[in-house]
Amino acid sequence: MALPGWCAVILAAGAGRRFGGGKLLAPIDGVPMIRRTAQAVTAGGFDEVLVVVGEHVRLIGDALAGLDCHLVEATDWQQGISASIRAGVASLPDESEGAFLFLGDMPLVPVALCSELARLAQHSGYAARPRVDGKPGHPVCFVRSALPDLMQLSGDRGAGDALKDRALAYLDTDDSGALLDIDDAASLALAERAWNSRATSATTDSAISRGALPKP
């Protein structure tokens, strides 16, 4: 998959207090959550991947070592998620087609949908996002002309405010990873089970394609 001209912004600046702190460093099958998310996003074919950090700059930087992404520090991250969005958008290259907003606590986010989301966003003239059983999910794709609106966000309110009364396209999917964010121990356990299930399925599919296992 390739997304020439498009950039990705992973929001990873919060303290994760509802989780008890250090949420993005919690392990998913032995690997920090933020690295799992970033691994998926950096494989998505974006021109650039930015990770917005705040509370745990050094620790998250260490967790992302070796991945093709760049850290952006949101010095005012305590003002809420809007500060992280503004920091990420302000760091985008001038020539970008637009940006996808990802959440650091969604390691199963369906990156494979991004090419179609970019097409839908351009067709709508503003933005596009996945939808699962009528519920809006992530990532959210914004065309370049929409980015100034993200710079006007304030407080602990996310990109949803920028989408009100705007031309928004939806991509319906049955991929629950578009909704599965991790806020507590229960959702972490659910995400890890889903991760392991997908990893097992991918391994089986690979073995079948190599002829190591018979086709079902």
Q: Which pTM was predicted?
A: 0.89
Structure tokens at 38: 């970033």
Q: What is the pLDDT of residue 197?
A: 83
Instruction: Count the neighbouring beta carbons within 10 Å of the beta carbon of residue 213.
Output: 13
The CA distance from 112 to 20, in Å, is 31
pLDDT along the chain (216 residues), means of 10: 92 74 89 96 97 92 97 91 94 95 96 97 97 96 96 85 88 96 88 82 40 42
Contact between residue 41 and residue 49 where contact means Cβ atoms under 8 Å apart = yes
The CA distance from 144 to 122, in Å, is 9
Written as one string, the DSSP assignment of 70-107 is EEEE-TTGGG-HHHHHHHHHHTS-TT-SEEEEEETT-T
Token pair 């991790």 is found at 182
Q: What is the pLDDT of residue 121?
A: 97
Q: What is the pLDDT of residue 15?
A: 61
